[in-house]
Amino acid sequence: MSKLLDLVAKNSLRKESLGDFDVGDTVNVHTRIKEGDKERVQVFNGTVIARFRGHGAVNATFVVRRVVSGEGVERIFPVHSPRITRVEVIRQGQVRRAKLYYLRDRVGKSTKVKEYLGEAEAETAAPAK
């Protein structure tokens, strides 16, 4: 029975990767929207506040949050959905948590996540002798 479920799940998995993004990153999620007989790509940008692996790879999701007109908007995207064309990372965030639910209570500039600068950040913190 398990082999049959694995076979069905394998057919539902995404062939190409969405890209390398993590919690705290600011991303643009390109989704295909169908309106009548036309189809277009709509971009939803915001901060990734959570990633879930789900029970099996097929159920994996990620949550993107943004503030529009002073109101917080969150969308949950399935990782393996054929509606998602790509996820574009705008900036990487430096976070110490796996889930950033505390951003829901923040207002204004405090909703921003500090940017991760990589190797340059480590060099400026500890100058070489």
Q: Tell me: the pLDDT tens digits for 27-80?
A: 999 999 999 999 999 999 999 999 998 877 788 899 999 999 888 999 999 999
All structural domains of the chain, each given as residue ranges with its CATH number in brackets, are: 2-125 (2.30.30.790)
Q: Tell me: the pLDDT tens digits for 90-123?
A: 999 999 999 999 999 988 888 888 988 887 655 6
Contact 21, 27 (CB under 8 A): yes
Q: Tell me: the pLDDT tens digits for 84-98?
A: 999 999 999 999 999
> Measured between alpha carbons, how far is residue 23 from residues 89, 101, 116, 123 in Å?
11, 11, 12, 24
Its pTM stands at 0.82
Give 50's contacts (C-beta < 8 A, 6+ positions apart): 23, 62, 63, 98, 99, 100, 101
Q: What is the pLDDT of residue 49?
A: 95
Q: What is the pLDDT of residue 34?
A: 94
User: How would you classify the pairing of strands 61-68 and 71-78?
Assistant: antiparallel
